Structure 1
Amino acid sequence: MTSINQQINLYLPELRPRRDLVTASRTVLVLSVLLGLALLMSIVQWWQTTLDQNRLVDVEQALQEQTARTERLENEVAARATDQALVREMDTRELRVQQARELYDFMQGTTLGNLVGYSQHLKDLSRASFTGLWLQEIRIVGNADRVMIRGVAQEPAMLPDFVGRLSGGNSAISTRRFNRLVSARDANQQSLYEFTLEAGE
C-alpha cells in the first residue's frame, strides 16, 4: 500500500509580519521637526517686524518734532510778518519738514530691513546741515565705503564747515575723507553754488 504525504503551508503571506516604513513614532518625530521649524521661522519674523516697527517709530517721532517746530515758527511769523530773516528761517524749516515727510513716505513704502545701518548716517548728515546749505542727493554704499553728497550752498566757504561737522558725527561717515569736490555757480540762481562731495575706498 502506497502512503501519500501531503504538506500544508499554513504560513500564508497575509499572516507574515509587515514592516511599515511609516510608523507612529516616525510620524510624531517628523511632525515635531516641522513644528520646530515653523516656530523658529515665526520667532525670526516677529523679531524682524519688531525692529522694523522701532525704526518706523523713530522716523514718526522725528517727523512730529519737525512739524511742531514748523508750527511754532509759523505762529511767530504771523506775529512778526515783516521780519525777513524769520521768513527765510520758516522757509528753511518747511523745506526740512518736507524732506522729513519724503523720507517718511519712502520708508513706509520700502522694506525697512534693507535700511539697516543707514539711520545713523542720515542722523549725522541731518546734524551737520545748517541754514544756507541744502542737500539734494545722497548716495551711501555699504557702511559708507563710498559716499556721494550733492547739494547747494549760499557760499563756497560753507563746505569746509559742513565737512567739519560731519567729522564730529557718530557714524562711519565721520571717518571718511572726501577726496573729490566739484563746485560751481548754480545756472539758475547765480547767488548759489552747486557742489558734489565724494569719498571712496
Structure 2
Amino acid sequence: MKQLANLYVPELHPRKQSLTFTRAAGVVAAAAVLAVLFSGASHWYAGQQQIATQRTNHELSQVQQRLTAKQNELRAAMNNPQVEKEIANIEAQLAQRQRLLQQMTSVTAASQTSFAQLLTDIAKADVESIWLQRVIAANNQLTLQGKTTDASALPQWLASFSNYPTLQERQFGVFELRDNSQEAALDFTVGSLAHSSLLSHSARTAGAQ
C-alpha cells in the first residue's frame, strides 16, 4: 500500500524574513565600528613606523657625528709635525732594516756558494799522501791543517793550487810541520797569520786532551 505525504502544509512552507530598520541599523553600526577600529589601527601602525624611522635617523646622525669627529682627529694627527716626524723615523728604520736584511741574505748566499766551491777545489787538489783534518776560511783567508806521510809532497800540493779558481793566489804566512811520535804521519799547518788566534786555541785544546 502506498502512503503519500503532503509537503504543502503551512508548517513546511518557506518563510521570508524582511530586513527591519533595527537590524539594518545594527549592521551599519557594526560596519562603522570596524571602520573606526581599522582606521585607529592604521594610524597607530603609521605612528609606530614614524617613531622607528625617527629613532633610526637619530642613531644614524649620531654615528655620522662620531665618524666626522674621528676623521677630524685623524686629520689633526696627520697635520701634526711631531707625528709626521715619528712616522718618517719609523719608515726610515724599517727601510734600513729591510736593506740590511737583503744584504745579509745576499752575503750569506754568496758565502755559502764560495765555501762550497772552495771545498770542491780542495777536493780536486787531493793528494794520496795528504789528508786534511781542518779547513778555516774566514776574512777571505784560508788555513789548512792535516797530516801527511810524505813531507816533500806538501810543496807540490800547494803549487797545484794555482790550477783552481778559489785556491790560486792564496797567500800563506804560516807553515808548520810537526813530528807526531805516536803516529807515522806528520802534522802540518798551512795558513794565514790572521788565523793565529784560532790556531793557538786549537793547539791548547789538543794539548789539554
For the aligned pair, the TM-score class normalised by the smaller chain equals 0.3 to 0.5
Q: With a CA cutoff of 8 Å and minimum separation of 6, indicate the structure with the bigger relative contact order.
A: 1
Larger radius of gyration: 2
Q: Which has the higher helix share?
A: 2
